Structure 1
């Protein structure tokens, strides 16, 4: 019997840093694997807006932070953040926007299956940027997409991040010169003509982890294709914004997302 992607297997309460938000650890099915993630809901009501949070990094770098998930939930979203396969007790092996994209797709289906959720917004941070774009291509009915400090071109990441090259060669199976198709498979820039979702790009111009060139390439291509795109660039900030600025951007982003709900 085929197991349905996105089906919740177990849900266990998790201590929340915000008294107004309930957190739980969820095990769900993705491509036949049991994968883990975190679900966050504001207490007292069930939001119609779902929020798919796609983390950056790989393995223990860039793990999902409960406080960040609760922050978005407190803006009036039901948030689900997959940990991706092989992480925090999940089955399988993460492969940096390769087959682990299925975990994002299944997480989208999980949110969609919740009775209260009507619209789903997709959010990607750092490496999660490509995951978000791939998910929006898979689900054109999504309400909106935001990429914050997001990767858009995997070959560019290999060129820029010398410190990641060993990991990328191991996980992806070689270099962009030797296996260009493997990097193109992980690079949604080549398929944006199929994107139907309004896009928000948020990027710190001083970002040394994911250069602003990723944002510029994404914005340029979307505009060439006549796709709806907004961008907020912050000239003085890098990959991580100061707490006060971060809170304001989250509030503004929540308003932007909800302006695309119910359409």
Structure 2
């Protein structure tokens, strides 16, 4: 890895929806590319747990929302959410958990280097689920991982989401039948024996964007390997939870993260 990864190149203030949270847009280095992301910090003194927020979607679908980032910062975290390469003025091209995982790795290092951050938790939503697991595998010091409506198996996404197949063939370079290794390299299920961080899986059973089968596969594999895992399944919900439930789950998962044993 390029030792400059995670280095901050530029910071600009961004209007915050929450008076207790300060937002900045950060340009940082990821394997030599200048990519962008959003940093949210609680205003005032003090040291906080770091929270790496890995978004879902691709390009303009699933963009980082300032209100969402501020919501997690208000729970008492310093939050950084990479936009991934090629987005919102960043260099390079996003490639759906291929080389753009470097942007998550560099973002982890960036958070870790901030003087007010102690320990880094990783949160992934939707396709951010694979990004979160891949990042936790790269950094054994990860405090915890939460995957919410998260993808765990890239071939399964290809099978389920007919509407994404053209994009996936273009970005990944073909189908899972033709290039199984390319899909496997984007699927963390095969390397979970090396995972050290405790995992929390959150999933709506009626999710049609990312089927609950992704969560079940991840849970089964973690249990088989006797890794620490908690699962919160919501029978009545889809990929998106109603606002009041969402707020409650954000609060609960924040408590779950903070109650994990502290690691170096």
TM-score category (smaller protein): over 0.9
Match of 1:251 in 2: 251
Helix, strand or coil at the partner of 2:117: coil
Give 1:261 shift. 5.0
Deviations 1:152-201 (A, max 9, x none): 00000000000000000000000000000000000000000000000000
Query: Over aligned residue pairs, what C-alpha RMSD do you find?
Result: 0.8
1:75 is the counterpart of 2:61: no
Q: What is the rounded CA distance, in whole Å, between the counterparts of 1:259 and 1:119 in structure 2?
A: 13
Please show how residues 173-212 of structure 1 align to structure 2 within 5 Å: 173-212=173-212
Helix, strand or coil at the partner of 1:118: strand
Match of 2:169 in 1: 169
Q: What is the rounded CA distance, in whole Å, between the counterparts of 1:27 and 1:47 in structure 2?
A: 23
1:153 is the counterpart of 2:153: yes
Q: What is the rounded CA distance, in whole Å, between the counterparts of 2:3 and 2:27 in structure 1?
A: 13
Q: What is the rounded CA distance, in whole Å, between the counterparts of 1:58 and 1:26 in structure 2?
A: 19
Match of 1:20 in 2: 20
Match of 1:234 in 2: 234
Please list every run of 5 or more consecutive structure 1 residues that lacks an aligned counterpart in the other structure: none
TM score, norm. by length of structure 1:
0.98
1:140 is the counterpart of 2:140: yes
**Kept after mapping to 2: 8 A contact 1:49/1:261:** no
Give 1:45 shift. 2.8
Match of 1:109 in 2: 109
Give 1:116 shift. 1.3
Q: What is the rounded CA distance, in whole Å, between the counterparts of 1:100 and 1:47 in structure 2?
A: 29
Helix, strand or coil at the partner of 1:102: helix
Match of 2:214 in 1: 214
TM score, norm. by length of structure 2:
0.98
Question: Aligned pairs, how many?
Answer: 262
Q: What is the rounded CA distance, in whole Å, between the counterparts of 1:170 and 1:142 in structure 2?
A: 32
Q: What is the rounded CA distance, in whole Å, between the counterparts of 2:113 and 2:3 in structure 1?
A: 15
**Kept after mapping to 2: 8 A contact 1:3/1:32:** no
Please list every run of 5 or more consecutive structure 2 residues that lacks an aligned counterpart in the other structure: none
Give 1:118 shift. 1.2
Give 1:262 shift. 2.2
